[in-house]
């Protein structure tokens, strides 16, 4: 048995002090520090937060690697890299490239999923297929020549590895595909890269979609007479992804989104291969992208993903809202876990769940990352 004591423990709805987290491969419970068993292996977290491992359900790349490359070593490098940012579970995210490339990426993640349970990096829970079923008018940094009409049969055939898929519902066959996917698999459907109206977005939710891909970005904007996908995302019960890098979305809106969405707010990185790298030229879906500071752009100035780290997203929301630490951490752990149907085992420090734990300082810099009871990273 192991325990972490001395820190501020972040629970789903509050923080507590003077207590300890007991765990082996699973969380055993939260006890008073005076009740720590004598034979427990003790880790001190004095002056730090003890929080659940972070869950990134939308990340394309990191450290000059990209999930869409379809390379095992690249995905491993991503997994080993993001664990330093407190991420214990992630969905390598494909984009609008050729179907051959997407299928190859799925196969690689499929082959690595079991191995990822015990390697030194974050666990691969599945894949997020952000393309190619999108609207060309809202393609953002995705390649138009690879855009296709929604193919429910392909999604269902790959539902062993796909956890989340983005669909522009207003495209030909979109609503039918959403219904078919939800009726025949556990894959969650996200509305994104879409020119849908408010009403069309709600129709997609009625058909079974329950996510919005990176709220505000690559979708119809909020207007008081045409609320768009943004309005539907805020007003509905759908999960809403937020890239809280202070560039994709102005930080003045973080509080508004959080108040509208509550436990349906999901912090993501949408990170590209430029993440963790110095300023310069990289690539995304076969297109050159240019990194300067926190901005990642195509040559024409189109935003092309981010270089955000998920622990930085937590810090950015804490710095720009009056939300509690528990609320913000949940948006990067329990909420995303729930959004892909994994909340029973991941996302919070509750008895019986996997012992995925992070120790972070007051600036949310990661000091230790523990996955299923084993230290996978130590600063």
**Residues annotated catalytic, as ranges:** 270
259 contacts 217 by C-beta, under 8 angstroms = no
* Residue 317 DSSP SS3: helix
Maximum CA extent, the chain: 64
CA nearest to 357, candidates 14, 1, 9: 9
Bridge pairing between strands 188-191 and 211-212: parallel
Looking up tokens 């020119």 gives 195
Q: Provide the 8-state DSSP code for 310.
A: H
- On the question of a cis peptide bond just before residue 132, with omega within 30 degrees of 0, the verdict is yes
Q: CA-CA distance, 373 to 357, in Å (whole number)?
A: 8
Q: CA-CA distance, 363 to 311, in Å (whole number)?
A: 9
Bridge pairing between strands 287-292 and 280-284: antiparallel
């Amino acid at each position: 048995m192991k325990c972490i004591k001395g820190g501020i423990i972040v629970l789903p709805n509050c923080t507590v002090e003077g207590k300890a987290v007991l765990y082996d491969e699973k969380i055993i419970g939260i006890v008073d520090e005076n009740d720590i068993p004598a034979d427990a292996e003790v880790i001190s977290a004095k002056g730090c937060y003890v929080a659940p491992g972070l869950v990134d359900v939308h990340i394309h790349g990191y450290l000059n690697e990209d999930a869409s490359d379809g390379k095992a070593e690249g995905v491993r490098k991503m997994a080993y890299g993001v664990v330093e940012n407190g991420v214990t579970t992630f969905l390598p995210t494909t984009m609008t490239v050729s179907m051959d490339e997407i299928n190859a990426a799925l196969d690689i993640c499929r082959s690595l999923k079991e191995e990822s349970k015990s390697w030194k990096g974050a666990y691969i829970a599945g894949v997020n297929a952000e393309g190619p079923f999108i609207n060309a008018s809202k393609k953002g940094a995705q390649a138009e020549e690879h855009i296709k009409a929604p193919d429910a049969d392909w999604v269902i055939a790959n539902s062993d590895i796909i956890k989340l898929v983005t669909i522009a519902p207003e495209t030909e066959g979109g609503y039918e595909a959403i219904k078919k996917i939800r009726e025949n698999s556990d894959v969650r459907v996200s509305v994104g890269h879409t020119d849908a109206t408010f009403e069309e977005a709600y129709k997609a939710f009625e058909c079974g979609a329950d996510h919005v891909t990176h709220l505000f970005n690559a979708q119809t904007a909020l207007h008081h007479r045409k609320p768009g996908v943004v309005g539907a995302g805020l007003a509905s019960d759908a999960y809403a992804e937020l890239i809280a890098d202070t560039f994709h979305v102005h930080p003045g809106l973080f509080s508004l989104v959080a108040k509208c969405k509550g436990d349906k707010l999901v912090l993501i990185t949408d990170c590209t291969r430029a993440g963790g790298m110095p300023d310069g030229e990289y690539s995304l879906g076969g297109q050159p992208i240019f990194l300067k500071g926190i901005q990642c752009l195509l040559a024409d100035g189109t935003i092309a993903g981010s270089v955000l780290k998920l622990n930085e997203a937590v810090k950015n929301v804490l710095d720009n809202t009056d939300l509690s630490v528990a609320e913000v951490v949940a948006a990067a752990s329990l909420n995303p876990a729930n959004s892909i149907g994994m909340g029973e085992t991941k996302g919070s420090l509750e008895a019986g769940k996997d012992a995925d734990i992070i120790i972070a300082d007051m600036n949310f810099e990661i000091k230790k990352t523990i996955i299923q009871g084993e230290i996978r990273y130590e600063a």
